[in-house]
Amino acid sequence: MRLSQLFSTTLRQEPSEAEISSHSLLLRAGFIRQLGAGIFSYLPLARRGMNRIENIMREEINAIGGQELTMPVVHPADIWQETGRWSQIGDEMARFQDRTGHQMVLAMTHEEVVTDLARREIHSYRQLPQLIYHIQTKFRDDPRPRAGLIRVREFTMLDSYSLDRDWEGLDHQYQSHYDAYFRIFNRCGLPVRAVGSDTGMMGGKEAHEYMYLTPVGEDTLLFCDSCDYAANRQVAAFGKLTPPDEKPAPLEKVATPNVSTIADLADFLGIPASRTAKAVFFAAEKSGQGKPLLIFAVLQGDMALNETKLVNAIGASGSGSITTLRPALEDEIRAVGASPGYASPIGIQRDNVLVIVDDLLPHSPNLVAGANQEGYHLRNTNLGRDYQPDMIADIALAEDGSPCPHCDGRLQALRGVEVGNIFKLGTRYTSALGATFLDEDGEAQPIIMGSYGIGVGRLLACVAEEYHDEHGLIWPITVAPFPVHLMLLPSKDGSAEKAAEALYTALIEAGIEPLYDDRDERAGVKFNDADLIGLPLRVTVAARSLENGGFEFKRRDRDNRWIVPVESAIEVIKTELDQCHQEMLQRFNL
């Protein structure tokens, strides 16, 4: 490819909209252009890099038995209504009507579609197991797109779906994907960690996320410093220190004027925050109901509430389909007899109220809690004697330094970007859509499903975030749009032009397509652009290099330059590119 004909230009100035390094560099190097919030065009350099990523994906999924197909981007609403996600998913789902007035959906994901295919195509246990996948465009109307390709609204994903007759089969395919996904990320040069995660809107019984650890990540991850425990903070468990046993003491109402926070309460009474009970209120909007359900969450005062755990606990309580969860309004809190800043579950009205307490509270006697009267608290409140919860669950947030739930170690909090996820869906979708097969006895059984995904553009951006310096991108050999940046510095006698053209032709004949900078630009501009674009190997053809005996070689990830004789150039290029591959293999134990 001749750079003079490339459909993109480099930018000299830092783009004002760029938030992180990868965003800035992909814009400046001419890889991407933004059309709207979270919507990008991928120019030829980006497209070539993404093609290489997608081919790695295909090779690895094919190797574990995958069959590629293509499913639609536009779905009729009917199948989403059958699974219930039509009403469970809020504004992130893009809905519209076709010309006949039929409700339609822009694909966020494809569980409904693949399940519909399964119920049409799978009839007998003899047809199982199956593994199908596609690499397809999706749209999620994210309210906060940010950081370039890290968080977008329109994106391309590898989705694979396993279909099995039993849970053992799902476990096998899940493990196969678990390992294959590590190979995909390793081959792309991206170091990742797998952590336990929330199943979220996907549902199912188990999930893992693949996390690229970086300070620019939005997710907080917790890793034990002594064992292999790792989890997204949304679902992370931690060791909770059980307080010493005490006999329940009598309730005592005490005046606490102008003391409405846990910190102020602990200071006023001269007690640790762990001796208090914290109340947190939410309103849960339920599908098909006008009046929201008031959620009264209670936990030990020295702990923070984990909203994801709370949502999962609400779902497990059988309280119906929750579509949104928001902080409760003061009027909603007072309507049940509670007093904001001085609240407890003692004596409140329980109609349309769900009281959920953290699982440490049954072991925490004689806590100070609100008296549901402004300016007053109650000493010695005890769960079971003074109030009964509707549910007891782990709803506390794990923090940096929290005890590990599995050993004597401590949890370390790190930031990360989710680049892939895998889910054990089980029968979540097949039961809803009636996707069954006949077993050996002729009995209908639901197909057992798994779902597995990697975002292509986000992966490209994370590789760019991992590999760059102050001058530009430094692409790994496996992801680079071109392996070689061939640069011509024109000579007065035309010798450099002739040699560069000959090398360009020879490289193509050898199956090595270079990016050939044949532009009529100053040497400084060309060198800066080469560093900015970041291809693995730069070969400069100039009058000076020819006078010194050949072509100047430089690897983008190293500082040294050297001269290679003209007649040896192709072989040395092959050797250098092979060395880049070998270094990748060694780094990631491939």
CA end-to-end span of the chain, whole Å? 30
For residue range 447-504, list pLDDT tens digits in order. Answer: 999 999 999 999 999 999 999 999 999 999 999 999 999 999 999 899 999 999 999 9
**How far apart are the C-alpha atoms of 390 and 352, rounded to whole Å?**
11
CB of 52 within 8 A of CB of 63? no
Amino acid at 411: L
Distance CA 243, CA 237 (A): 18
Instruction: For Cα atoms 79, 84, 86, give the angle at the middle one, nearest 5 degrees.
Output: 70
* pLDDT at residue number 321: 57
Residues in the chain: 590
| Nearest Cα to Cα of residue 141 among 173, 108, 112 | 108
Tell me how far apart the alpha carbons of residues 554 and 561 are, in angstroms, rounded to a whole number: 5
Q: Which residues contact 208 (CB under 8 A, 6 or more apart)?
A: 178, 194, 195, 196, 197, 421, 422
What span, in angstroms and rounded, lies between the C-alpha atoms of 263 and 459? 43
Neighbours of 288 (CB within 10 A): 8
Distance, CA of 20 to CA of 148 (rounded, Å): 8
Distance CA 358, CA 352 (A): 20
The predicted pLDDT at position 320 comes to 53
Contact residues for 34 (Cβ-Cβ < 8 A; gap 6+) = 17, 27, 40, 41
Where on the phi/psi map is residue 84: left (φ > 0), alpha (ψ -120 to 50), or beta? left
Low-confidence ranges of the chain (pLDDT < 50): none
All domains of the chain in start order, with CATH: 19-236+413-464 (3.30.930.10), 252-393 (3.90.960.10), 482-587 (3.40.50.800)
Cis before 389? omega within 30: no
State how far the alpha carbon of 340 is from the alpha carbons of 64, 125, 326, 370, 574, in Å: 56, 58, 16, 9, 71
Distance, CA of 47 to CA of 481 (rounded, Å): 8
What element of type H or E holds 119? helix 111-121
- Could you identify the residue written with the tokens 């196969």? 176
Token pair in block for residue 478: 């496996």
Residues 114-143: tens digit of each pLDDT: 999 999 999 999 999 999 999 999 999 999
Contact 381, 322 (CB under 8 A): no
Kind of pairing, strands 444-446 and 436-438? antiparallel
Cβ(188)–Cβ(53) below 8 Å: yes
In contact, 455 and 420? CB cutoff 8 Å: yes
Residues paired with 154 in a beta bridge: 139
Tokens describing residue 426:
């089980």
Cα atoms found within 13 Å of the Cα of residue 381, Cβ hemisphere only: 27
Lookup: tokens for 112: 């409904």
CA contacts within 13 A on the Cβ side of 571: 5
293-300 and 353-358 beta bridge pairing: parallel
- Report pLDDT for 314: 85
Closest CA to 115 of 427, 518, 491: 427
What is the token pair recorded at 278?
């914290």
Q: How far apart are CA 421 and CA 185, in angstroms?
A: 12
Residues 314, 318, 324, 326, CA torsion sign:
negative
Q: CA angle at residue 73 from 158 to 311, to 5 degrees? A: 70
